[in-house]
Amino acid sequence: MVVPPSKWPLIMEISREGEGSELALIHKALAAEYDLAETAYTFGAHSFSFLSVLDSYALLDRISPEEFVKDEQMPYWAEIWPSAIMLSSFIADELSLDGLRVVEIGAGVGMVSVVAAWKGASVLTTDFSLEALRFARYNALDNRVTLRCERLDWRLVQCREQFDLLFAADVLYERVNLLPIVTAIDKLLKPGGAAYIADPRRRLAEQFLELAAENNFSITPFQRRYDGGSRSVAVTIYKMTRQSTAQ
């Protein structure tokens, strides 16, 4: 049985106290509801393990027509996508995060957040799906890092805190979400902050970049390629920074 959102707190703090028993309890609860997959990855010469759903398509039957009409939410959160893997690798190899405040939007099972926390950041992990945050919580405990998890709807960002860095992987899949994501980034970033958005070079990314430019963001692309699956996937990581308005 899926626990209804009303039974879940909107904010979950990952605690190191009693983490072993909590890890086992969360795994037991998730295993009762999902067919699970646990996969090992290496980032920055460090070994990680991530729990996800074995077959995300099996979750489609859980979405009622009423829920889909209301939110148009598909269970994309349940998989680990190449964009998240390449963004995690980029964070591990290219970025220094010690002491920085970081937010991830559309976090799914939390891979990017976990790697950012391992790199020394203080991380707020967000997703619209409370089910996704259960997996993020488990993966944080399993990899012995600290995360704060909170539900966030990028169409209506109510978080007043601003962050040094924002991460997002594979979120540019619906045209209706493009402007809300740009607006969310603008609200969540500190002055001088940067966002890193990873995408498998969808056509919608071009429209997103146009909207970002119209909203005073400069873009720097980093090209990567994921070769770990059944096929090679080209991924671009877009660094977004606000343009200077000084005359």
Contacts of residue 108, Cβ cutoff 8 Å, sequence gap at least 6: 76, 77, 78, 79, 80, 81, 84, 127, 132, 135, 136, 169
* pTM to 2 decimal places: 0.87
Sheet holding 101-104, edge to edge: 11-13, 148-151, 122-127, 101-104, 163-169, 189-199, 233-242, 217-226
Q: Is residue 17's pLDDT more than 80? A: no
- The pLDDT assigned to 6 comes to 35
Helix (H) or strand (E) holding 166: strand 163-169
Alpha-carbon distance of 138 to 141, in angstroms, equals 5
pLDDT at 66: 54
100 and 119 Cβ atoms separated by less than 8 Å: no
Query: To the nearest 5 percent, what fractions of the chain are helix, strand and coil?
Result: 40, 30, 35
3-class DSSP assignment, residue 241: strand
| pLDDT value of position 111 | 98
Interval 142-157 mean pLDDT: 94
Q: pLDDT tens digits, residue range 181-227?
A: 999 999 999 999 999 999 999 889 999 999 999 999 999 999 999 99
Q: Domains of the chain by range and CATH? A: 16-242 (3.40.50.150)
The region, left, alpha or beta by phi > 0 then psi within -120 to 50, assigned to residue 144 is left
Amino acid 229: pLDDT: 78
Predicted confidence (pLDDT) per residue in 85-133, tens digit:
999 999 999 999 999 999 999 999 999 999 999 999 999 999 999 999 9
Flag whether pLDDT at 143 surpasses 50. Answer: yes
**Confidence category of residue 8, pLDDT binned at 50, 70, 90:** very low
